[in-house]
Each structure stands twice: as C-alpha cells, then as structure tokens.
Structure 1
Amino acid sequence: MTTQNNTLTISKIFTVIKQSLKGEQQDYTQGSIPKAVFLLAIPMILELSLESVFAVVDMFFVSKLGENAIATVGLTESVITIIYSVAIGLSTAATAIVARRIGEKNPDAAAHAGAQSLVVALIVTLLLSIPGVIFAGDILTIMGASNEVVAEGTTFARIMLGSSAAIMLLFLINGIFRGAGDAAMAMKSLWIASLINIILCPICIHFFGLKGAAIATVFGRSSGVLYQCYHLFKGSGILKFHGRYFNFNTGIVKSIVNIAWPATFQFIIASGSWIVLTRLVAETGGTSASAGYQIAFRNFVFFILPAWGLSNAAATLVGQNLGAKQLERAEQSVLLTAKYNAIFMTFVMLLFLFFATPIVRIFTQDDTVVRYGALSLQIIGSGYIFYGLGMVMIQALNGAGDTRTPTVINFICFWLFQVPLAYFLAKGLDLKSTGVFIAIPAAETVIALVAWYYFKKGKWKEVKV
C-alpha cells in the first residue's frame, strides 16, 4: 500500500512539473495553494537558474583571461546593478499591477498596464545608456580599478553599459508575464537569452578577448527580448498587446511610477551598498581579494536566484489573490513559500560551509584568490536561511504594491547598518576584507526579521493599485 501511495505521489509531482512547463492558463485564486506555488515557482526557478548558470559560465571563461579581466567584469557589473535596479523596479510595478488586474479578471487592463510600463522603460533606458557609453572608463576609475584594469576593460564596460535596453526589457517583460501567471513564457525567454550567451561566450572571447564576453551577452539578451515581443504581440496567451495600448496614458503611467520608484530605489539602495562593499574589498584586500570575492559572489548569485524564483511566485500569488479579494489565501501562499525557501537555503548554506574551497578552485588555481574566495563564500553563506526568508517577505510586500515599506527597510539595514558595520570591521578593527564579508550576512539577517514583522502586521492587504 505504501509503495502504491509513493508511486501516486511521484506521479502527481511529475504531473505538476509537466503542467508548469507547458504554461497552460491557470486560475491561481482557487484550488490547492501548494500546487499554485509549484506551478509558478518551477518555471521561475528554472528561468533564473539558467541565468545563474550563465553568470558562472561567463566567469569561468573570463577568469582564463587573468585577474584584471575578472576585476573588470566584477566592477562593471557592480555598476550595472543600478540598471538592474531600475529594471527590477519597473518589473515589480508591472507584476503588481498586471497580477491585480488578472485577479480581477480583466486581461485587457492588464495588457494595457504592461504596454505603458514598456513606454516608461524605453524613456528611462535612454537616460542611462548614453552616459554609460560616454563615461565607461571614468566609471571604472571611480570604482577603484587600477590603470591596467581601466585600459583592458573600458570597451567591455562601454558595451555592457550601452546595452541597457536589452537588460531593461528582458527583466520588465518577464515581470509582465509573471504578473499574468505565465511563468513558463518568462522562463523560455530567459532560457533562450542564457543559452545563446553560453554558446557564444567562449567563441566571442576567443576571437575578441574580454569584449567578446560583452558582445555575447548583448546578443543573447536581445534574442530573448525579440522572443518576448513576438509572444506579446502575436502569441495566444492571456495577454495580447495592441498598438493603441502604447498611447501615453497619464493615469496608468502614474500608477506604474508610484509603485516603481520606491521599488527602484529599493534595489538601488541594495546595489549601491554592494558597490560600496565591492570597492571596500578592493581597497582593503587588493586585487586578489577583489577577484576572490567576485568568484564567490557569482556562486552566491548562482544559488540565490532559485530562491528568488520562489519569492517571485509569492509576489504573483499575492497580487492575483488580492485582486480576487482572497486576503487569507494571499497570506497563506506567502507563508508556505517562505517555508519552502528556508528548506532549500539550508542545504545551500551547508554546501558553502563545507565545500567552499573546491567550489572556488573550479574557477582559479591561484592560492591567494582561492583563500579569499573560500572565506567570503563561507561567511556570506552562513546567513543563507535568512536570505531566503527575507526575500519572500520583501517580494510579498512588493507583489501587493507596497514597495515603500521594503525600500525603507533596505535603506535602514543596508546604509545605516551594513555599510557602517563593514567600515568599522574592515578599518576600525583592521579585519580588512574579512570584515566586509561579515557585514553581509549580518545585514541580511536584520532585513529578514524586520520584513517578517511588517508582513505579519498585514497593512499590505489594504494597498490599492
């Protein structure tokens, strides 16, 4: 009897996985909550996992070019996180509004809101790309890069900063798909982008050197955007874009901006603190510490993105269930997702604590770089459970359209706690780069506890979008 039950359970699991990957239209405001979580989370996890695979593969090939190349990529991407922040902020707004309209059973209004978010994104892209192209070398210098790194990396930085449209649209359109509950489409578009990146990266690096990595990335992301646009305009999903939806609508744009600007600052605050910490590592530990930290951070991202996928599922479920006036179901969805995330992150934490050195040695054999990389991976990894819990709580608030509360939480925990703590430990106690590493899990733990408190207060249930 037990064997038969196990067979049925395994069969149900494979059925849910198959259903989630097909991308069939679902009503996430009814039925089993665990099933709803997995139907959304599986493609979201797979989507972001392949993106994280590319991040690791990219670092693998770039690392063969030497520590200057590693430092260039790390410093450039620390600045590009500002572009990511704007993209994620707009994506957060689009997800919240689209999910709310879908929950209200109004797909036309959802598509209209999605189209208006694209209009806003294109305007913002112009404001970011042009200065990035002009001042690429100066940006690397400001970030603390050596003269050699600036000489080798300016072209790479210029290509990456100048291609912000591909980053912006890839993130934003996937946010629109997620809000509509079509996580499978978001997964497929990012898979296309990442697979093309992975294939082209070694080829382009072979022929063009470091700038080849940037060329491959831009080409891959642009391919993903073209795939997204095809399905928005020609596809048969729940969302169908029409030309009239792009006529500037002050009311919808105002709603998008009201949600997006705190969400954007929320991530700018987080990424800005990372930029400060990245510079502090380079300043107190030198190029070897910076290179080790960048390798560790790529692995950190590799394992954090699946947890981010689960968190995105929580955001969609909150938005759609609030739209359907299912307040209790929205809360239950978040708590269940937080439980799943904590379990996953526990395994990752143990992996980093016990296998940090072998992981870093995959990317470099330089003993000094390995030592810094393994140490940072172990220290940062020690707080992984709290990262998982905090991410779900923050995304739940964002999915409800309450982007201001997480923004305040980020500002206090990153800039008033993490950055001062990092400087105190690194310079005041002379722990150097190790002090910076310690400040990261300390701040993330505080964020998780504060976000949990505000989620349990329940004011997010009253937000109107």
Structure 2
Amino acid sequence: FNSLAAVLRGTGNMAFPAAVTCVGVVILVPASPALIFGWGPFPALGIAGGAVALLSYYVLGCLAFVAYLWGGRSVLHPSLRAVRFRWPLFRDILRVGAVAALVTVTTNLTIIIGTAFAGEFGPAAIAGYGTGARLEYLLVPLVFGLGGPLVAIVGTSIGAGERERALRTAWIGAAIAFILTEAIGLCAAAFPTAWLSLFDTDPRMIEAGARYLRTVGPFYGMFGLALSLYFASQGAGRLLWPLLGAVARLLIAALAGWLALRWSGELLHVFFAQSVGLVAAGLINAAAVAGGAWFGSLTWPWSAAAALQVGVGMTITDHPLHRSGRAAFPHPAPASGNDAHAA
C-alpha cells in the first residue's frame, strides 16, 4: 500500500493517494467497531474484527492504486513483462531507504530513552512524559504532508539540473513546517492541560506532562525544520546529514539527560536535554543543506548561494535518476493534470 502510494507521489500525483487514504479512513472508522461488536449485518468478530477492517482497507487501497497505475490514467505505465532485477536500482533504493530507516530508529530510541529516564520518577512521570511526547508523534504526519511533495519536487528539480529550484523548494517547505510545528508547540506549552487532560486527569501525570510540554514544546519548530529537510534530502539522495542530526539528538538526549539525572535528580533538566537535542537536529540539517551538502562538500559561507556555486561533488549525472539508466526529467514546463505540482 505505502509503496504503491509512494510510486504515485513520485510521479507528482499527490491527490489520488490522498483521496484513497481519506476515503479509506471514512470507511475504516465505522467498519472497525461494526466488525468488532457486530453491528447490523456484520458478524461480531471481537478484536479480530479490527484486524479484518484494517486489512480490508489496505487490500482495497492496493487494488485502487494498481487500477490507477495500470489503467492508463497515470503518467507512469509500468510493465511487469519488462521487470528485471538490477543491482544498480537496488543500490539506489537502499542508499536512501536504509539510511532513512536508521533515522527513524534513532528518533524512536530518543523517545524510548526519555521514557526510561522518566521512569526514575515513577509511573505518573512515565504517563505524563508519554502523553506529552505523543504530541511529537502527531507532528510527523503533519510534516509528512509537506514531505511527500518535497521528495518528488526536489528529486525532479535536481534530476533536471534545477539546483536553485530544489533549494528554494526545500527552504519554503522547511519554513512552512517550522511555522506549523512551532505554533503547535507554543500552544501546547501555553495550555498543556488541554492536551494532557484528554487522556487522564491524575494531577501528578498532568504535572509531569506539563513540565515536558513547557520545556520541549517551544522547540517543536526545530523538529519540524529537521523533519522537512530530512524529506527534502531524500529527494536529493543525500541522507548523511539528516542521519547525523538524528544521532546528535539521540546522543544529547541520552548523555545530557543521564548526567542531569545523576547530578541534579530533576526531571525538568532531563527535558532540557531533550530540547537541546531538538535544536541540534534542526541546526545540523539546516546548516548542511545551506552549506551545499546535497551537491558536494560543505562550503563556507553556509548559504543557499554558496550551495549553488559548489563546483565539485555531485553532478547531474550522479543523481540516482540518471544512474538508474533513465534520462533526467525534462526542464520544467507549464503543466496540467497530475503534473500541476511542477508549476
């Protein structure tokens, strides 16, 4: 399901995958309790009913994507008869996909380590931290709404030799992500109880969760900045610096959090360490993109102009779009239909 949706998004068609997902959710939400509890003509399957509803959603979604791809409506017309397994294609996929998986792992490890530190202060602290950190997870699909187009547009632009357009797109997307996530973080910091009370009303849980949101929430904008540039870097095929940013966040949250726990014994200081980790991740990603990491070694001064002037490193033909044996995307032209994003 996700792979087929990614293929369509890669062609520039964001609307159809979004439509399939939205329609599927509208059906899935009532179908799950109907199959669990046995509403109307549906049998009562218990907890298995939820699994049946979810699997049905994925199967029907896959069929919709397959029908669209092979039905002649897509700009991409794959042929199963021409499928050949070629190592260069696997290499291009894995050099981005494997590193992207590591970024996801380090991000989740950061939350796990934070949960372990909160556990030193009892169950209420764990509940408060977990509830507060859940808001960070909800930021991921929000930024992904920007990240999907960023992957496609940045990759297309670099493949066509439009470096300036790729960078401009990345910075615009990063700015939007920063503003959205920072606004959510500031609201959560100002009114933490509004979020926390949705899950529990225990005073100790509310206190711990409020401490987390007031300390880390104001820096959620850096999380949005790092995540959006991570998606843009996927399109550029350059994920070393996003990985380093995620590792830096993990190490700062782990080491500084451990030191804070041992030296002060204050949960607030553990949360400060997590805030510093978010700032580090955002700054590392931004500095790398601004310094020209997509097109070669980092340059000074770190600016978009410097990135465009890099004379060494990745040339147009080094980009995965070319190494796969396919021609680059043509120079952007007035678009219509599914290619309207290129305009």
TM-score calculated relative to the size of structure 2: 0.74
Name the counterpart of 1:166.
none
Name the counterpart of 2:283.
449
Aligned counterparts of 2:319 and 2:271: Cα–Cα separation in 1: 39
Quick check: 1:458 aligned with 2:292? yes
Aligned counterparts of 1:346 and 1:405: Cα–Cα separation in 2: 22
Quick check: 1:400 aligned with 2:231? no
* Higher relative contact order, chain-length normalized (CA < 8 Å, sep 6+): 1
Name the counterpart of 2:227.
391
Name the counterpart of 1:73.
none
Aligned counterparts of 2:144 and 2:113: Cα–Cα separation in 1: 23
- Asked if structure 2 preserves the Cα contact closer than 8 Å seen for 1:300 and 1:377, the reply is no
Q: Deviations 1:222-248 (Å, cap 9, x if unpaired)?
A: 443343333233351112232135442
After superposition, the Cα gap between the structure-2 partners of 1:331 and 1:226, relative to the gap in structure 1 and judged at 3 Å, is same
Q: Return the offset for 1:402.
A: 0.6
2:94 to 257, 267, 276: 257
**Residue identity in the other structure for 2:81:** R
Q: Return the offset for 1:205.
A: 6.1
Aligned pair count? 293
Aligned counterparts of 2:50 and 2:121: Cα–Cα separation in 1: 26
Quick check: 1:284 aligned with 2:128? no
Larger Rg: 2
Matches within 5 A, 1:184-199: 184-199=15-30
Aligned counterparts of 1:288 and 1:367: Cα–Cα separation in 2: 9
**Residue identity in the other structure for 2:71:** K
Aligned counterparts of 1:369 and 1:211: Cα–Cα separation in 2: 32
Quick check: 1:297 aligned with 2:133? yes
**Residue identity in the other structure for 1:439:** A
Name the counterpart of 2:79.
242
- Asked if structure 1 preserves the Cα contact closer than 8 Å seen for 2:110 and 2:249, the reply is no
Quick check: 1:423 aligned with 2:258? yes
- Asked if structure 1 preserves the Cα contact closer than 8 Å seen for 2:151 and 2:233, the reply is yes
Name the counterpart of 2:183.
347
Name the counterpart of 2:211.
375
Gaps of 5+ in 1: 1-168
Greater per-residue helix proportion: 1
Other structure's SS at 2:266 match: coil
Other structure's SS at 1:460 match: coil
Other structure's SS at 1:383 match: helix
After superposition, the Cα gap between the structure-2 partners of 1:321 and 1:375, relative to the gap in structure 1 and judged at 3 Å, is same
Name the counterpart of 1:439.
273
Q: Return the offset for 1:409.
A: 2.7
Q: Return the offset for 1:448.
A: 0.9
Q: Return the offset for 1:298.
A: 3.1
After superposition, the Cα gap between the structure-2 partners of 1:213 and 1:381, relative to the gap in structure 1 and judged at 3 Å, is farther
Gaps of 5+ in 2: 38-43, 296-313, 321-343
Q: Deviations 1:191-211 (Å, cap 9, x if unpaired)?
A: 244334433454566567777
Name the counterpart of 1:108.
none
**Residue identity in the other structure for 1:452:** A
Aligned counterparts of 2:45 and 2:214: Cα–Cα separation in 1: 35
After superposition, the Cα gap between the structure-2 partners of 1:332 and 1:219, relative to the gap in structure 1 and judged at 3 Å, is same
Q: Return the offset for 1:328.
A: 1.1
Q: Return the offset for 1:271.
A: 2.1
Q: Return the offset for 1:383.
A: 0.5
Q: Deviations 1:150-177 (Å, cap 9, x if unpaired)?
A: xxxxxxxxxxxxxxxxxxx42x333222
Percentage of matched positions with identical amino acids: 22
